[in-house]
Structure 1
Amino acid sequence: MRFLILLGSFLLGFAWRHSDELHAMVVGTPQETPEERAEIMQIPAVSSANELESRKAFMEEVHRAIVDRDFSWLSAREFSLRQGGNRTDDGVWKLELFYNSMWWLGNMNTPDCTDPAAEFLAEWRIASPSSPAPFIVSAQRLLDKGWCYRGSGYAKNVNISAWKPFSEYVDAAHEMLARHKDVASQDPQYYAVMASIYVAQGRSEGDFQNLMDEAVAKEPYYYPLYQEAFRYYEPQWFGSYKDEEAVAQFAADQTQAKERTSAFARVYWHAMSCGCMPPTVVINKKALRRAMHDLVELYPTAWNVSHMARLACQIEDGELANSYFEALPAGDEGKAGWSDWGGIDVPQWQACRTSAGLPANA
């Protein structure tokens, strides 16, 4: 199986000129029938569980183990989450949250990008040589160190002296995973981190296809795989807007048996969260609205519904945003969709409510 063969005519690569692509996609975007539109406007009853607090509690457990250097607990936790495929009520893998919790290891914010976790990770690798987690986290930290030297700007703006350490640490991240593949590749996060490394290395499309083929053959339901594929095919990297849609469709196709089309929405939800959203006019809104509906039917939580309200505003569908806001439990104003660890983006939440025809200061 080949990733792009499955995607078929969706993947048009570098040959697209963005102006032509925008025109073609706008002209070719399908619309819902009145019956389809009426169906997606019906939002199911919604749970009021506090997802953000639940995630914080989970990540605090990981934090305590990091502080205590409890390598046995960390490795056992990775194993149980991977084997059980445990998810939050919102449908997100707890394994993904486990790896997100590694931000507790500290930032590389010194001029020489010193990693405060280097000693910790070396001890973890020695203590748990048969666990994928210490090798995956170590590779991610090496990759992060490379990006610390490079910075996040466009290549033309990178200081020439940064390229050598950037390449060295990216290659070291690759070597960490490749050398320990037999152990590390048991965990789907191995492939998510390797995909990110491939972006940094500028690996060929064929190499990336092969990696994705291997990844989805092992675990097609691990969403970070598709998030990294979306990144690879962003126009500023190695693809186009059409390629991005193809990745979302590929994710939906691979997970259809259990998740209907909801993975299509999860890919664009990620794009919205990272500030990577394509222009509204090129998004297949019919497919996206259907996927949003599938997502909240499968996982009817306030967290998901409030984020779908935000996503509806992102694609300039105030009527649909209204349906999601109105489906929230009594007293829930939908602010969770604009919440992160730093707080709530109140102006954007207010703007969305206004476009949905609702009071901005509910």
Structure 2
Amino acid sequence: MKRLIRKLLPSLALCTATLAGAAEESPLTQAAMQAFWWGDFPALEQQNAMLRQPGHVGADGVVELEWFRIGVAQVFNASHPNQEAYLQELEKLTLQWTREYPKSALAHVLYARVLVAHGWAYRGGGYIKDVPPEAWKDFEAYLHRATQYLLDHADVALSDSYGHVVLLNISRGMGWDSKQIWDVINDGLKRNPDDVTLYFNALTGLLPKWGGDNKALDQFIRKATEQTKATFGTGMYARLYSAAAEDEYGHTLFQGSQVHWPTMKQSYEDMLARYPSDGRRNRYAYMACLAKDKPTLLAQLDLLGDKVTAESWGPNPQRSLEGCLRWARQG
């Protein structure tokens, strides 16, 4: 394994600057990213085991596992001059971990996750029409390999809901139906009832740009909201539709989807009562602007005071914020 780590380390110099900005979001993200870069699997295992325990929901309502997984994803998604060689070395490294730690769910999941990343490197993130036929075959082959690997090692790999997150990432490329997706989500929640990242990973594949539709998306969000009431009230409705806006609808969320503003408004109120967050209140104000609800926009701006920041205000956030403030000031 030391040989593999030495081969990966030159990538650190090439990629650390790119990753640092994203990793600053949370110390958990930074710690996971650094442990993975340096091939410190015991540290990754320890972090994952701790965060899988009940109660690791941050003050803002974000599950702390999400920050850990973002750090891990920084390594999978790093840009490298020779992406193929880089991914091949990651495959070797994570496969070695599965052999050294055969009873570790995380080791098996990370190997499957590399296979998924390798597949998406062939496909790319563009439209289907832009994917070369041979690249499409490689994409599907890697997703099949990842799926089969998780199923072959299900007794270990799927004891951790991270394995179900990877299955949901696979579902986006394989066109699984709603029942299959809910089966994966619910099985993952049996392993970790706090792991609401399952809903967010499933959401992406239900967006119209990935072959979904507005009705199915709305049904999914309402069902997820019902399932998470004990912890978040109706808060998941706003969070999931906000994620849908981020991934697809942008400023046209209220024209392009079936989102219902009174329901979203109550959802934000529920969420902020349970998990106060300046970032989420900024997002609430932005959504009020999109919904043309000036009284709610003004109320949120007043509550925010000098904590209004552009980051949560959608595409081209600074201009979006400026436009909403201008509209708010109009009589």
TM-score range for the pair, normalised by the shorter chain length: 0.7 to 0.9
- 1:188-229 deviations in whole A, cap 9, x for unaligned? 222222112122112234433432342344445422222233
Structure of higher RCO (CA pairs closer than 8 Å, 6+ residues apart): 1
Check the 8 A contact 1:136/1:193 in 2, yes or no.
Answer: yes
Q: What 5-or-longer segments of structure 1 have no aligned partner?
A: 1-51
Counterpart in the other structure of 2:13: none
Closer, same or farther in 2 for the Cα pair 1:103/1:233, shift >3 Å?
A: closer
Aligned match of 1:81: 51
The residue identity in structure 1 corresponding to 2:205 is: Y
Q: 1:331 to 1:319 in 2, by over 3 A?
A: same
Where in structure 2 are the equivalents of 1:1-362 lying within 5 Å?
55-105=25-75, 107=78, 109=80, 113-114=84-85, 115=87, 116-276=89-249, 279-281=253-255, 282-328=258-304, 330-338=305-313, 345-357=317-329
CA apart distance, 1:300: 0.9
Q: Measure how far apart 1:302 and its partner are.
A: 1.2
Question: 1:220, 1:254 within 8 Å by CA — same for their partners in 2?
Answer: no
CA drift of 1:99 comes to 0.9
Deviation per CA, 1:8-66: give whole Å up to 9, x if none: xxxxxxxxxxxxxxxxxxxxxxxxxxxxxxxxxxxxxxxxxxxx997332222223322
* Matching residue's letter, 1:296: L
Q: Within 2, Cα distance between the matches of 1:112 and 1:65?
A: 21
Conserved 8 A contact 1:335-1:349: yes
Q: Secondary structure at the match of 2:160?
A: coil
Greater percentage in helix: 2
Q: Share of identical aligned residues, percent? A: 23
1:155-199 deviation digits (Å, cap 9, x = unpaired):
223211211111111112212322222222222222222112122
RMSD across aligned C-alpha pairs, in angstroms? 2.7
- Alpha-carbon spacing, 1:306–1:167, altered in 2? closer, same or farther (3 Å): same
CA contact (8 A) 1:71 1:127 kept: no
In structure 2, distance between residues paired with 1:298 and 1:309: 18
Do the aligned partners of residues 205 and 128 (structure 1) sit closer, same or farther apart at CA in structure 2, a change above 3 Å counting? same
Q: Aligned pair in 2 of structure 1 residues 315, 117: CA closer, same or farther (>3 Å)?
A: farther
- Specify whether residues 317 and 223 from structure 1 end up closer, same or farther in structure 2 by C-alpha distance, changes over 3 A only: farther
Q: CA deviation at 1:71?
A: 1.3
User: What is the CA-CA distance between 1:88 and the residue it aligns to?
Assistant: 1.9
CA shift at 1:90, angstroms? 0.8
Distance change >3 Å, CA 355–CA 222, structure 1 → 2: farther
- Cα–Cα, structure 1 residues 319 and 192, in superposed 2: closer, same or farther, change >3 Å? farther
Identify if the C-alpha distance between structure 1 residues 159 and 306 changes in structure 2 by more than 3 Å, giving closer, same or farther: same
**Which 10-residue stretch deviates more, 54-63 or 298-307?**
54-63
Q: Tell whether the 8 Å contact from 1:143 to 1:169 is kept in structure 2 after alignment.
A: yes
- The alpha-carbon deviation at position 254 of structure 1 amounts to 0.4
Q: TM-score of the superposition, structure 1-length normalised?
A: 0.75
Preserved CA contact (<8 Å) 2:200 2:240: yes
Structure 2 gaps, min length 5: 1-21
TM-score by length of 2: 0.81
Q: Which piece of structure 1 moves more, 203-212 or 80-89?
A: 203-212
Matches of 1:112 and 1:69, distance apart in 2: 19
3-state DSSP class of the match of 2:306? Answer: coil
Contact 2:123 2:139 in 1 (8 A): yes
Would the alpha carbon gap of residues 69 and 151 (structure 1) be closer, same or farther in structure 2, given more than 3 Å must change? closer
Contact in 2 for aligned 1:99/1:137 (Cα 8 Å) = no
- Alignment partners' CA distance in 2, 1:180 and 1:357: 59
Distance between the aligned counterparts of 1:260 and 1:175, measured in 2? 37
**Does structure 1 conserve the Cα–Cα contact (< 8 Å) formed by 2:282 and 2:300?**
yes
How big is the shift at 1:111? 6.7
Hey, what does 1:43 align to over in structure 2? none
Post-superposition offset of 1:100: 0.8
Distance in structure 2 (CA, Å) of the matches to 1:314 and 1:302: 19
For 2:12, the equivalent position in structure 1 comes to none
Task: Give the 3-state SS of the residue equivalent to 1:83 in structure 2.
Answer: coil
In the TM superposition, residue 319 of structure 1 has moved relative to its aligned partner by 3.1
CA offsets per residue over residues 306-341 of structure 1, 9 Å max, x none?
22222333434343232222212x53223342599x
- Deviation of 1:112 (Å): 6.1
TM-aligned CA deviation for residue 110 of structure 1: 5.0
